[in-house]
Amino acid sequence: MRSQFLPFSTPTIDDDEINEVVDSLRSGWITTGPKVKRFEDAFRAYVGAPFAVPLSSATAGLHLTLLALNIAPGDEIITTPMTFASTLSIPVLCGAKPVLVDIEPGTLNIDVAKVREKITPRTRAIIPVHFAGQSCDMDPLLELAREFNLTVIEDAAHAAGTEYKGKKIGSLNTISIFSFHPNKNLTTGEGGMVCTGDEALAEEVSLLKFHGMSREAWKRFAASGSPNYDIMLPGFKYNMMDIQAAIGIHQLPKLDGFIDRRTEIAEQYNREFADVAELALPAYAPYPQRHAWHLYTPLVRIERLAIDRDGFMAELKKLNIGSGLHYKAIHHHAWYREHLPQPAGSLPNADYASDRILSLPLFPRMTDDDARDVVEAVKDVIARNRK
């Protein structure tokens, strides 16, 4: 057994990031400024998006996007039940009704073939989530959106560096919202980015993110700025700081290397677990794509074991192996059980995954030995708890 606890994720921070943050602190300019602009330009170029708006989080990005689209009470938004809180909570807080479509059993991405039957005259938008860093099947989804005049908002929180048919997520001329939370493939501490080909939308999100002030208002205390500003509309306080961008500037050039290392570990897991009947391994989508391997999420076949998934995670912890839960399906959470009840059996793949899924340790600094410890612990827990 390992002597030291292995967390399920930890950010990769080097001296580059640390020195850049210190530079910001010493410079006298801590909040939104030139480093945010540098990070915005670099990220926009990396994903190939015409416009990008840096923000304090992806949740903020979802909020401002829905406001910019005038999503209002009565509107319906189609999305997946296998996602984080904000994919649903922001539509709900805007008064919209989330409409859940089941996932595919292998990739755990939204089942695009089942979207059409959920479209009504009230449907305004679709929010696909590129689960674990693997792209949803965007071509048929975009075609459907065109047919019904719907907006596609990609929840790209897992998908920095993900590609679909040779194109980076962020470059598909939709709206893509990235997260830079510490667990994500690229971090700024906290942070997010809205990428889009729609200039008017980018401008609106940009206004809303900082008190509704015109775009250059952050400069008003700098020599090059004017202390005067105008409020164009009532806005929020969702700007990214230079301290955050300082981290991102040095994370971005390393992102492809991070993904390469994540892929090696994921493939090591795939090989080692290939003959373990008690696990259902994550599947690759059948179309060309680059998986960013944000998460490695096997399903534990609890019907073959004497313990449930939570018990399985507790056993791993006793062996000093951390794990994560991404996700308990959204409609199994208390508020949604009460306010968005789903007919029994209507989301069978999400229900199945929800009770069985766990996230094994996966981060760039993991060694092959760390991964071997995880494999050993997982096999040990299975061996001791077989029915």
Decide: 42 and 170 in contact? Cβ < 8 Å.
no
Please identify which residue in 17, 111, 155, 278 interacts with ligand PLP, judged by CB under 6 A: 155
| Contacting residue, 63, 124, 181, 356, with ligand PLP by CB under 6 A | 181
Task: State yes or no: is 219 an active-site residue.
Answer: no
Q: Judged by CB under 6 A, does residue 158 bind ligand PLP?
A: yes
From 10-18, 43-51, 154-162, 247-255, span contacting ligand PLP (CB under 6 A): 154-162
Contact with ligand PLP (CB under 6 A): which of 58, 126, 241, 329?
58
Among 29, 39, 84, 258, binds ligand PLP (CB under 6 A): 84
* Whole-angstrom distance, CA of residue 43 vs CA of residue 249: 9
Given 24, 32, 87, 123, the residue binding ligand PLP (CB under 6 A): 87
Please identify which of the residues 35, 167, 168, 184 carries the catalytic annotation: 184
For the CB of residue 239, give the shortest distance to ligand PLP in the complex, in Å.
Answer: 14
CA distance 119 to 243: 43
Residue 80 sits in the site that holds ligand PLP (CB under 6 A)? no
| Closest distance of CB 285 from ligand PLP, Å | 17
Residue 163: beta bridge partners? 168, 290
Determine if 179 is a binding residue for ligand PLP (CB under 6 A): yes
* Least CB distance to ligand PLP at residue 228 (A): 33
Nearest-angstrom CA–CA distance, 243 and 36: 9
Q: Are 101 and 150 in contact (CB under 8 A)?
A: no
* Cβ proximity of 243 and 30 under 8 Å: yes
Number of residues that bind ligand PLP (CB under 6 A): 14
Strand partners, 313: none
CB 85 to ligand PLP: min, Å = 8
Q: E strand or H helix at 233, and its extent?
A: none
Distance of closest approach, residue 41 Cβ to ligand PLP, in angstroms: 20
Single out the segment in contact with ligand PLP by CB under 6 A; choices: 153-161, 231-239, 255-263, 309-317: 153-161
Residue 63 in contact with ligand PLP, rule: CB under 6 A:
no
Contact call for residues 167 and 48 (beta carbons, < 8 A): yes
Q: Does 57 bind ligand PLP (CB under 6 A)?
A: yes
| CA 113 – CA 104 distance, rounded (Å) | 10
With tokens 């039957």, the residue in question is: 117
Helices (H), the chain: 15-27, 34-47, 58-68, 85-93, 138-148, 199-209, 242-251, 255-273, 309-318, 334-339, 348-354, 368-385
Contacts of 203 (CB under 8 A, 6+ apart): 215
Q: Please give the residues from 191 up to 220 whose contact with ligand PLP meets the rule CB under 6 A.
A: 192
Q: How far is the CB of 299 from ligand PLP (least distance, A)?
A: 18
Q: CA 84, 360, 195: angle at the middle one, nearest 5?
A: 40
> By C-beta, is 12 or 320 nearer to ligand PLP?
12
238 lies in the site for ligand PLP, by CB under 6 A: no
Could you give phi then psi for residue 181, rounded to 5 degrees? -60, 150
* Residue 384 CB, nearest approach to ligand PLP (Å): 32
Contact 290, 310 (CB under 8 A): no
Is residue 157 within the footprint of ligand PLP (CB under 6 A)? yes
- Kindly indicate which of the ranges 8-16, 53-61, 284-292, 364-372 contains the residues binding ligand PLP, using the contact rule CB under 6 A: 53-61
* Binding segment toward ligand PLP, per CB under 6 A, in 29-37, 40-48, 82-90, 137-145: 82-90
C-alpha distances (whole Å) from 135 to each of 10, 42, 153, 177, 331 are 23, 22, 13, 14, 23
> Residue 42: left if φ>0, alpha if ψ -120 to 50, beta else—which one?
alpha
Of the candidate spans 63-71, 80-88, 114-122, 211-219, the one that interacts with ligand PLP by CB under 6 A turns out to be 80-88
Q: What is the set of active-site residues?
A: 184
Residues that bind ligand PLP (CB under 6 A): 57-59, 83-84, 86-87, 129, 155, 157-158, 179, 181, 192
